[in-house]
Structure 1
Amino acid sequence: MTDPDPKHEARQTARTVAEEARRAESEAETLAKRARAGAGRRFDQARQYAQHEANARVSEATDGAAREAERAARAASDAAADYPSDRLEVRALEGVSRLLEDTASSLRSTDLDTVSRELTRFARRNPVSFMAGAAAVGFAAARLLRAGPEFGERFEEDEDFPEPGSAGMSADYAEATGAEARASSPVERDDG
């Protein structure tokens, strides 16, 4: 019996290792393709979910803003009814009321894509105004964040702020809030 040729065994082992390496490489490519496809599907699902949630939040915000605009329009109409119809104040209040009603209608019919396109268009046409507005919004947001939730508690506990119906509240403010101003109020209402 002859001993196997070591060179032959080495070549055979090298071929076997090379085949295993190609097979492993092929399997790795297949797994990578599956992983990319799965990640792509998950990314698309996450993107769709995020877009859905963003649209829902924008819808909630625009509905709230539309309700407030409608409420303000009704208040302007009600205020116009307090004056004789030939007065300038009536025409101004009616104009404000129509503008607010149009704003409410526009808000209700707007979606996130439309808002995004309009905002982009505005930013391109008016970059300075856009930057100034963005800075103002940023400062306002920072101010609100800095105030924190304790702002409301501090405001409610503020001794300098008059309670509804207290002697320090004007009759106009009391009427607007539905509270009763006391006769000892330092600011008397002038109905003249």
Structure 2
Amino acid sequence: MTDNSNTSSHIERAKHHASELAEQAQDTLQTEVRARAEEAQAQAAGEAAAVARAADAAASELPEGSLQAEAAQQLAQGLEQFADKVRTADLDKVLRDTSDFARRNPMLFLGGAALLGFAATRFLKATASDGNYNPAQEDDYSGDPWGGYDADSAMTGEAGRGNVPGTTRRVS
């Protein structure tokens, strides 16, 4: 019977060790998530402040007292206030509020998250500073199955001869 008590003692120690490891992993994960969230919070505040500075610069370039200058100035002030709120927001409260909203309105939350993800992706693509950018590639239709299709030539029966320099089109 000594073997059984020894085995159960080893099992209990292994369970305790596994439980400690799980707690350590959870603590590490929470710390990492918090650090990333704080980093994202600072970045969002910085982006909002940068847009506010751009709107302020645009307002200073417009005629003083004009409707456009006033609108740009108000936009700059609103964005700066938003940046300050984001910068000083209590992260735990924001997460709780977001979680509560998601529970009350799951479809709206998912739709908003998808829309926000789409907008962020478009924004990041538009602002990416890729040194290999080639504007000529924008007109490259080699991967587009409709890229070589010319609606005008298809309608006049002149397939394959649309937009070719030096050719004339028959207009009926």
- Assess same fold via TM > 0.5: yes
User: In the alignment, is residue 159 of structure 1 matched against residue 103 of structure 2?
Assistant: no
Q: Separation in 2 of the partners of 1:42 and 1:96? A: 50
Tell me the TM-score normalised to structure 1 length: 0.56
Query: Which residue number in structure 2 is paired with residue 94 of structure 1?
Result: 73
Seen in structure 2, the aligned counterparts of structure 1 residues 89 and 157 have a Cα distance that, compared at 3 Å, is closer
- Following superposition of structure 1 onto structure 2, how do residues 42-191 of structure 1 map, counting pairs within 5 Å? 42-110=21-89, 112-136=91-115, 140=118, 156-159=133-136
> Can you give the 5+ residue segments of structure 2 that lack an aligned partner in the other structure?
139-172
Tell me the TM-score normalised to structure 2 length: 0.62
What percent identity do the matched residue pairs reach?
35
Q: How many residues align?
A: 132
Q: Separation in 2 of the partners of 1:160 and 1:31? A: 65
Question: Could you tell me which of 36, 40, 45 is aligned with 2:15?
Answer: 36
Q: Cα offset for 1:87?
A: 2.6
Q: Cα offset for 1:38?
A: 1.2
Q: Cα offset for 1:94?
A: 2.3
What is the one-letter code of the residue matched to 1:58?
A
Instruction: State whether residues 55 and 111 of structure 1, in contact with CA within 8 Å, keep that contact through their aligned partners in structure 2.
Output: no
Q: Separation in 2 of the partners of 1:33 and 1:111? A: 41
Seen in structure 2, the aligned counterparts of structure 1 residues 111 and 48 have a Cα distance that, compared at 3 Å, is farther
Q: Separation in 2 of the partners of 1:53 and 1:39? A: 21
Q: Separation in 2 of the partners of 1:69 and 1:61? A: 12
> Can you give the 5+ residue segments of structure 1 that lack an aligned partner in the other structure?
1-20, 162-192
Seen in structure 2, the aligned counterparts of structure 1 residues 160 and 38 have a Cα distance that, compared at 3 Å, is closer
User: In the alignment, is residue 26 of structure 1 matched against residue 1 of structure 2?
Assistant: no
Instruction: Give me the CA root mean square deviation.
Output: 3.1
- Cα deviation, 1:73-99, whole Å, max 9, x if unaligned, reads 111112222234433223322222122
- Cα deviation, 1:1-51, whole Å, max 9, x if unaligned, reads xxxxxxxxxxxxxxxxxxxx3x22222222222112211111111111111
Instruction: State whether residues 59 and 111 of structure 1, in contact with CA within 8 Å, keep that contact through their aligned partners in structure 2.
Output: no
